[in-house]
Amino acid sequence: MPISVYYNNDDTQICVIRPAPLVSISSTINKTGGGEAFGTTYTITLTGTLLDDQGFPLAKDVHGAYFDYSDGTSPSGGVGGVGPYGAFDMTTSHADDNRPQEQNVPWNYKLDAIFSKQKALRTLFARDGQRLDIVPVHGDEPAIVCYPRVVSVNFTEGVYVNKCDYTIELEADTLLNKGLEVDDNANPLFVNTDISASRYQGLTTDQLIILEGRFIQSLSETWSIETAEDLGETISLPNGKEVIRPRSYRISHTMNATGKKHYYPDDLTGNVKKSEAWEQARDYVQLTLMPPASGSVFVGTDVRNYPNVMNQIGSGTLNLISSYRGFNHVRTEEANVSDGSYSVTENWVIASGTAYENYTMSIKSDTSAPFVSVGIDGTIKGLSEVLSSGVEYGGVGDISAQYGSNLPYANATKKFREISNEGKYGIASNVYKRANNAVAVQLNTQPKSISLGTNEFIGEITYALEFDNRPTNIISGVLSENISVNDTYPGDIFAVIPVIGRETGPILQYIGGRSEYRRDVSIELGLDYTDVPYGSGRASLLLQKPSIVEPTRTQIRNLINELSPAQEPGIRKYFINAPTESWNPKNGSYNFSISWVYELDK
């Protein structure tokens, strides 16, 4: 059973080892600590003997010259001449009529001959990935082909007079047949080779698979979960109540692989390609996280999705609610070229909704103001189920059709509309309920002030609102209203008579009677942009003022009637001074002033 080695993978340098060593092949199933198999490693052991005057490699003397054959001819004119130092031949058959000639090695040169053969054998196996054929005695074609890595070359101790035993240990990832097809019990492989290339025409799927194998020596996959005290959720229930979950969780998934330097045939001519260990680890991890499309030998653009990472972790330990899902998927890659390893770490935050929200409240009361004020400042962080390889994040995975506009900022906006009653606030909004529940008084349903901040890049909305317990507006649809009533009551009527040189001042002379009753009313309104005209014509500038447009016109009139002295008990008569009206169509400010003079029966 000859052993042939393609020296430097040159098919004109096929070196046959004689006497043929014994061959032992053992296979080790590579498994993780959890028992998951991820490939097979073949250990090939060659156990043979070097003879001082027979076989290949040929023996040299101390001066580097080959010993002559026993018939007096020189090896340089015989079969030898390939491989390191030209010490091997290319004949594979071990038939009786094809034995190599015996060399004439003097007794005092036996050690030189053995050492020269050791040197040639070490040189032959000094390189990984050389094609090695195990050939039957008929020598027509190989039974097993492999491209092994060299683990060790050992020579046993001895006097090295007429022989030297040796052991060569090799390691291979696949065993091939004469057609370079992988054995059925070889490693599970994937392929990302473009089979339309001309050099791959006519190859079977099995042959294609062996071209781009993924071979690793170790694999680990871990999941972890940790508490995130800085992340919280507010959940609106169907009954209108709100549930606060003050903390959440972060989930991390890491897959790490250490690869093996792998050699494989580039095409059917026997040319050899090499894949570095870290590349093997990288491809294995990436193909695991991004598996090929079903039924295809190509790597698909789809990415392994984790629609509910709670299926992976949390059950039976934290016993988290089943409605939690993973969001904001992020992947971090790390390649260690010298160590031959590659790892991917994935991180998610989990939530039962599509946004996180945190807020703080402050209560203020001041003797200089009659109202209690409640401030509420919050941050809404939108979440996304778009994976890290999506085009939205610069990747190539076009999965926008699957997730639509489910991006962080869109979800943050959706959450803000939910808690603010579509931006209308009022008694139905959650932000008002939070502020109102914090104090013993009833707050006005419309905020006194509103401040919003947005960051579309990170999907964040910040808000700052202030509520107080000021009375509800009488005039509907206005931002602010201010009503001022000034009453002037009757006083004495007297004359002021100046006297020249009088040290005590003028003479005050009561002339009899009393002054009139007087009431001045001022109504100031602030309108929002929906009531501000944007035109430049008379219809926009003059005919849109509140005293003309309903229902504000009627509400102002009713308010004036309520404040009029006509409602005073014992009124005899009253007169209206000329009212004044001020309207600014550019900023929506409106003022109406009116005064009465009236008489009572007492």
- Do 28 and 69 belong together in one domain? yes
Residue 122 has pLDDT above 90, yes or no: yes
- Do 11 and 160 belong together in one domain? yes
Let me know if residue 178 belongs to a domain. Answer: no
Per-residue pLDDT of 250-297, as tens digits, reads 888 899 999 888 877 765 555 777 778 888 888 788 777 764 444 333
For the ranges 175-189, 197-211, 485-499, the lowest mean pLDDT is seen at 197-211
- Do 38 and 164 belong together in one domain? yes
Mean pLDDT computed over 382-398: 66
Let me know if residue 382 belongs to a domain. Answer: yes
- Do 547 and 434 belong together in one domain? no
- Do 8 and 153 belong together in one domain? yes
Residue 208 has pLDDT above 60, yes or no: no
Residue 463 has pLDDT above 70, yes or no: yes
Per-residue pLDDT of 141-164, as tens digits, reads 888 988 999 999 999 998 888 899
What's the chain's average pLDDT?
A: 82
Per-residue pLDDT of 61-117, as tens digits, reads 888 888 888 888 887 644 558 889 888 887 766 555 667 788 898 988 899 999 999
| 72: Cβ contacts below 8 Å, ≥ 6 apart | none
Which range of 14-18, 68-72, 386-390 scores highest in mean pLDDT? It is: 14-18
Let me know if residue 491 belongs to a domain. Answer: yes
Percentage above 90 pLDDT, the chain? 37
Q: Which of 55, 75, 287 is nearest to 193 (CA)?
A: 287
Residue 557 has pLDDT above 90, yes or no: yes
The confidence score (pLDDT) of residue 594 equals 95
Let me know if residue 204 belongs to a domain. Answer: no
The confidence score (pLDDT) of residue 241 equals 82
The confidence score (pLDDT) of residue 372 equals 94
Residue 222 has pLDDT above 60, yes or no: yes
The confidence score (pLDDT) of residue 434 equals 93
What single-letter DSSP state applies at residue 127?
Answer: S
Domain end marker among 317, 351, 385: 351
Let me know if residue 222 belongs to a domain. Answer: yes
Residue 509 has pLDDT above 80, yes or no: yes
Q: How many CB atoms lie within 10 A of CB 435?
A: 22
- Do 14 and 163 belong together in one domain? yes
Let me know if residue 390 belongs to a domain. Answer: yes
Judged by DSSP in three states, 451 sits in strand
Tokens of 289: 């996280």
Q: Which residue has the higher pLDDT, 43 or 208?
A: 43
Q: Are 130 and 7 in contact (CB under 8 A)?
A: yes
- Do 495 and 563 belong together in one domain? yes
Q: Rounded to two decimals, what is the model's pTM?
A: 0.68
Please state the domain count of the chain: 4
Q: Are 148 and 132 in contact (CB under 8 A)?
A: yes
Residue 545 has pLDDT above 70, yes or no: yes
Let me know if residue 250 belongs to a domain. Answer: yes
The confidence score (pLDDT) of residue 385 equals 78
- Do 362 and 345 belong together in one domain? no
Residue 380 has pLDDT above 90, yes or no: yes
Domain end marker among 433, 468, 503: 468
Residue 558 has pLDDT above 90, yes or no: yes
- Do 224 and 347 belong together in one domain? yes
Mean pLDDT computed over 364-372: 89
Domain end marker among 318, 351, 384: 351
Tokens of 551: 């229902």
Confidence bin at 180 (pLDDT 50/70/90): confident
Mean pLDDT computed over 532-542: 85
Q: Which residue has the higher pLDDT, 404 or 315?
A: 315
Mean pLDDT computed over 232-250: 83
Confidence bin at 193 (pLDDT 50/70/90): very low
CA angle 192, 194, 195 (to 5 degrees): 110
Q: Which of 282, 290, 289 is nearest to 337 (CA)?
A: 282
Percentage above 70 pLDDT, the chain? 82
Which range of residues forms the domain containing residue 504? 478-600
Tokens of 494: 């007297």
Residue 301 has pLDDT above 60, yes or no: no
- Do 330 and 362 belong together in one domain? no
Q: Which of 105, 110, 63, 60 is nearest to 85 (CA)?
A: 60
Q: How many CB atoms lie within 10 A of CB 15?
A: 22
- Do 401 and 500 belong together in one domain? no
Burial of 150 (0-12, 13-18, 19+ CB in 10 A): middle
Confidence bin at 394 (pLDDT 50/70/90): low
Q: Are 324 and 344 in contact (CB under 8 A)?
A: no
Cα maximum dimension of the chain: 167
Q: Which residue has the tokens 């404040």?
A: 563
Let me know if residue 43 belongs to a domain. Answer: yes
The confidence score (pLDDT) of residue 94 equals 58
What one-letter code names the amino acid at 519? R
- Do 12 and 134 belong together in one domain? yes
Residue 534 has pLDDT above 70, yes or no: yes
